[in-house]
Amino acid sequence: MSIQWFPGHMNAAKKEAAEQMENTDLVIEVLDARLPEASCNPLVEQLRKFRQRPCLKILNKTDLADPVATAAWKAFYDAQEGVTAYPMTTKKPADVARIPDICQSLAPHRGVPTKPLRIMIMGIPNVGKSTLMNALLKKRVAKVGDEPAVTKTQQKLYLGKHIVLVDTPGMLWPKIAMASDGLMLAASHAVGSNALIEEEVAEFLGNLLLERYPQLLTARYGFKTEGLDGIAVIEHVAQRRGFRVRGGEFDYEKAAHVLLHDYRTGALGRISLETPDTRAAALARHAAEMAEKARIAEEKAAQKAEEAMRGKRGT
């Protein structure tokens, strides 16, 4: 399943962000620590690099992510020019309290009465951006909800006297290139429920868990994982939880929902869907697939051209 989700308000948000970037000193991009690159919006990268703005990449929800993977991602981002990574969780006030000082260190020429530090906070839907805003300002200024895309308009807020925050709506991008990225985003609840089929997303998650965290499946649901695939994982969850429909068949829909919910809430354990190494491998596979598709397209085009020339000679 290829998952794409770019409703109209996101296109408007993209245009507003492009206009606002000119008057921004620093970009905070909130990422999901469980899937940092899959949750990194290429539109944000394009906008900030065009204006040459530094970026603080907040790896949020570290309490749900594999700590070993998170450490690898921090090193990965810190090695990039103009980028600083900060793993944290909004559940810890001490983590949130450090953000203003980090921002000030990244833009030391700003943050005075005559030159306030102007920060734009960006990120995909349901990554914890609004929760972060509320925690920073210590009051409810942004709507928070379990469904993606709760925030739909920009708002400007003041953090102290010399820091201006611009909160932007959660924004995906028009074309998610790799199918695995769309599935990771869907599994992590960054995509609207109308754009996905839960059973297919749960099957993807089940296969990934079998590959990297089989012990967590056994600990949570009590079944052995040897010889299983993603569909079998859903079936075993249904069996263990007694999920059946009329006629005695397993209720795959309900079991898929439970598996996704247990991952999203951390009930399964601390899980990262990607690491820098698995990301590099996925990109290499994608590049090879695209090259093969291009080769096949070129062959077909050449064949059609040759057939056309034969037709002309015949006439």
The model's pTM is 0.85
Tokens at 121, concatenated:
């906070």
Confidence tier at 149 by pLDDT (50, 70, 90): very low
Q: Tell me the backbone φ, ψ of residue 180, rounded to 5 degrees.
A: -65, -35
**Which tens digits make up the pLDDT trace of 221-272?**
999 999 999 999 999 999 999 999 988 899 999 999 999 999 999 999 999 9
Residues with Cβ within 8 Å of 52's Cβ and at least 6 positions away in sequence, in order, are 82
Q: pLDDT tens digits, residue range 288-297?
A: 999 999 999 9
CA–CA distance, 220 with 197 (Å, rounded to integer) = 23
In this predicted model, what pLDDT tens digit does every residue of 31-65 receive, in sequence order? 999 999 999 988 888 888 888 899 999 999 999 99
Mean predicted lDDT score pLDDT of the chain: 89
Q: What is the mean pLDDT of residues 81-94?
A: 96
What angle (nearest 5°) sits at the alpha carbon of residue 84, between those of residues 80 and 87? 120
Rounded CA-CA distance 155/29 in Å is 16
